[in-house]
Amino acid sequence: MQWVLATIIVLCVGCAEQQIQPLPDIYPSVPSNFPPLPVPPDNPITPAKAALGKTLFFERRLSSDGTTACASCHLPSRSFSDAPNQVSRGVGGALGQRNAPTLINVAYRTTLFWDGRASTLEDQAKSAFMHSAEMDADTVAVAALLRSADYRGQWIAAFGDTAVTMRRTMQAIATFERTIVSANSRYDKFVRGDRSALTHIEREGMDLFFSSRSMCSSCHNGPDFTNDQFHNIGLFHHYFDRGRFNVTREPRDEGLFKTPTLRNVALTAPYMATGDSQKGLMSTLEDVVEHYNEGGTAFPNKDKRVAPLNLTDREKLALVAFMRALTDSSVLTNPAWIQP
């Protein structure tokens, strides 16, 4: 009965003001150049809850046909994205609509999904959990699983009792996801003072990336290389996926999508919300640079900053080299985040 009631109650973890809380010692510390980790006041991070969340993150039995887990579309080996798939597949092989983004540093996102329709990780997890083309969860069956001997010990350790609810399940998954904090790329080492961490061409690319000429950093800024805002970058003449408009119904939001983080971007192709553009699949960083170099495709809502750049071949090469230097390969092997 508790589970059934919880499915009716709208989660409101995003309604309360976020509080700042350090990660437990067993998890990676927040990098020095990052702000403190934002954590909802009603869902503090504990080692036991994060451990339960990790188990649930890889649990395929949460889906209606036992084939799909959170990790099915957010693979640790692909920097918690679904690369190289253009769109993700859910239960029964159902095709999703968009490219599954990385979960690297997802705790810092102010909105979730490409269109920003979720305001918290708890809401995002619930949406994927219930969506018919994703996990399509049978809540009665899931409740029985979480009350079984398979989970009883972990559940009690995390929450102190055996009361299984939708809210707690999503809180555990979100807690694990908040521990996925990463900033140990060669770029980060360079910023921390290792001047040999970047090659000459990577430094050229860095200078161009942060310049007013390319304007890359006007949207991909801050320690996580995203402003968490929505932009139309001229991918199509006509948007079958209308992006942010689907949430706000405001004409000015037609074809706008969230600026993604560029951390580990070399590992998460294909690029853009749907993995493609008017000219075809965006399967390489070279494709992305060329898109911006050409100024994108004409569209009424296109961001005015997306205009022809007239880059040289050397400059294009340098930008790609710099973005590859944002890779933190330790993410792929960290035992705290991969399935035992």
The domain limits of the chain are 2-182, 186-329
Residues of the chain with pLDDT under 50: 1-21, 26
For 2-182, CATH number? 1.10.760.10
| Same CATH fold assignment for domains 2-182 and 186-329 | yes
Which ranges in the chain belong to alpha helices (H)? 2-8, 47-57, 70-73, 121-130, 139-147, 149-159, 166-178, 186-191, 200-209, 245-248, 285-294, 313-324
What's the pLDDT score for residue 121?
Answer: 96
Q: How far apart are CA 275 and CA 291, in angstroms?
A: 13
| pTM over 0.75, yes/no | yes
- Hey, what are 149's tokens? 């001997």
Structure confidence at residue 72 (pLDDT):
95
pLDDT at position 4, please?
Answer: 35
From the list 87, 81, 57, 78, the residue with the least C-alpha distance to 69 is: 57
Q: pLDDT value at position 336?
A: 87
CATH number for the domain formed by residue range(s) 186-329? 1.10.760.10
**Sequence-ordered list of residues with C-beta below 8 angstroms from that of 150, at least 6 positions apart, any chain:** none
- Rg (the chain; Cα; Å): 20
Query: For residue 71, what pLDDT is reported?
Result: 95
Q: What are phi and psi of 222, to 5 degrees?
A: 75, 175
- pLDDT on residue 14: 34
- pLDDT tens per residue, range 286-302: 999 999 999 999 999 99
Res 163: pLDDT: 96
β-pair type (280-281, 276-277)? antiparallel
Residue written as token pair 């050397």: 314
Q: Give the pLDDT of residue 13.
A: 32
Two tokens, residue 88: 């993700």
